[in-house]
Chains A and B, each alone.
Chain A
Amino acid sequence: MKIWRIFKMALSSLKINKMRTFLSTLGVVVGVSSLILITSVGYGAQYSILSSIQSLGSDVVIVIPGKSANLFKSTVGSNAMRKPLTYDDAKFLKRKMPYAKIAPEISVNTTAKYGRTEVTTTVVGTNADAFVVTNYEVAEGRILTDRDIVGYRDVCVLGKKVADELFPLGNAVGNYILLHGNKFLVVGTLKEKGAIGQIDMDDLVFVPITTLQSQLRTKNVQIIYAKPPQGMSIDVLGARIKSFLIARHGMENFTLNSFEQYLQLAKQVTDIFTIALAAIGSIALLVGGIGIMNIMLASVAERTREIGIRKAVGAKNRDILIQFLLESALISTSGGIIGILLGIFGSVLVPQDILPTHITTSAVIIGFTVSFLIGVFFGVYPASKASKLNPVEALRYE
């Protein structure tokens, strides 16, 4: 018997009891749509981290004070207290490796004021290299220069958000603003950069590191970014920084990281998240499968006479088996297709700025395949039950 015939037969059987067919797909619909939605959220998180790190440049080495094996552990260890990272360390590294971009950074949360407008923001003391490391583009004016740094100048460069808030009409460059009560000349503004992780890269004000350090009465920096020149890997640069700093400090009292490591970690975290939630979706699918089995068993019982008639005119056990298997696979696969569409629809409805979503082809293919397999798997028992019916007894069934 031709498979196409059986397929048409199965399809017309399902049409007879439309409501029941529809209801029996629901479990799989819920399972597949939640699977699609959940993985889209998981992948969305990964992609947003990936893209923000790419916008920063993943080829950046990060040096933080204190020795820590774990990225998430506090970096303020006892070693760090004894010997923190200083601006001199950064200058030393630059002297040893003039080819690299070295950007030390110290930041403080404070207020920025222009006229009557006052906003809270983060002031970052850094140098000219920082703008290269973080791939900022100038909107107006200029970035910080070495002369600003060396001269302890009271100048600042505004991030897009701060500039917009203090100078809604534009023309920020050339005006004086107050940072924590101290007067600074705005020499430039930056183009929009977006957020990297938790940090809004546009809600920042950049000042010469020398100026901020003298105001804070410190020689320390919180972080040093280093970017290798073209053709050098971050591993090579990292190794050099490590040996230079150990030689200078006499011990390894700092930690080297790269964004790549952060990326790996973020990936791991979202992977675990995705797997955990996908497991929940799978349970929904399992329940859907059991629902289909239940309906198929009822259908087999109800259609005992039909099975008897088919067998009486020559249907083999295999013909009946395939017919019922196909019916159950059709139910689950159509549930799967509806689920995929609903999942995609749902992931589009999720507000992307809160929870970015990303639909992957593999999720769609897996959703489709799994729903088909569920129909086959949970259809085997009812179908084999149907196929093994004795024709005479089946015909006698009322």
Chain B
Amino acid sequence: MVDLKVDMGRGLVLANPVMPASGTFAEGLAKVVDLNGLGALVTKTITAELRGGNPTPRVAEVGNGMLNSIGIPSKGIDQFLDEALPFYRRFSSPLIVSISAPTVDDFGRAAARLNVEGIAGIEANISCPNIEEDGKAFAMRPQTTEQAVSAMRKVTDLPLWAKLTPNTGDIASVARAAEAAGADGLVVANTILAMTIDIETMRPTLGNVMGGLSGPAVKPIALRMTYQCARAVDIPVIGCGGIASAEDAVEFLLAGARAVQVGTATFTRPGTMDEVIAGITEYCRRKGFNAVAELGAALNADMLAPDVMEAAQ
């Protein structure tokens, strides 16, 4: 029997290291997959304010991946607590609520409202625009990351994960800032800002012009960032980006991730997370690991000088 449990700190232990990525999971998956089998459930990002989301087309196919400009349509925190939370409480998997906000103070206010039974943790989507800083994402810079995470840490004792953006020059510094401000974990990472143009209509393919790239196409970048962050901090890192198979997930675990999130792959294969859990177990068996948690220290990378890798940026 392979021990799949992973300790995420602050008392949160997951039955296995596999969970959905925010915005790629909702109630509908419960019709196809047994949600009790997942390590955790992570909601679509919610905001305190009501938001409408972006114009259509909101998605486009690109090579081996997709672009999205869904935005964060949100019916607000009250609606979430009244309607969505009771649904998720029916499942045994811990519920992580993803939140976002336009200012540092709003992050604090949103986090404070989630000290509610049935919520096991907070994932702060700090990859969103900070309206006090010219719309630059909080997680683009260490200082704004630190401010947002501190504001939440002051008001909550729940496990608090910061979800980082790959759209930054120095993700290791951002990771350290989040850790210093009291984050219990890091999700690495969100989508990569991108665009496509339809050369026949000569228009951007997305209604919003730019969007986020996800899916297998981003995996090597997300993996590299996971590796850099895992080396930079002591808190758990949750790898995310392009994971579509158990092999992909194992790469992230070997790169130092304590757990993984599966996003886009669930759209094309709704059973992916089940397959990833089964495949990780099989891999551990085959390689003689008794516990999935052992993978984090198993990478043979002594030959690599991390500084050289950072310098290559």
Q: Do A and B come from one complex?
A: no
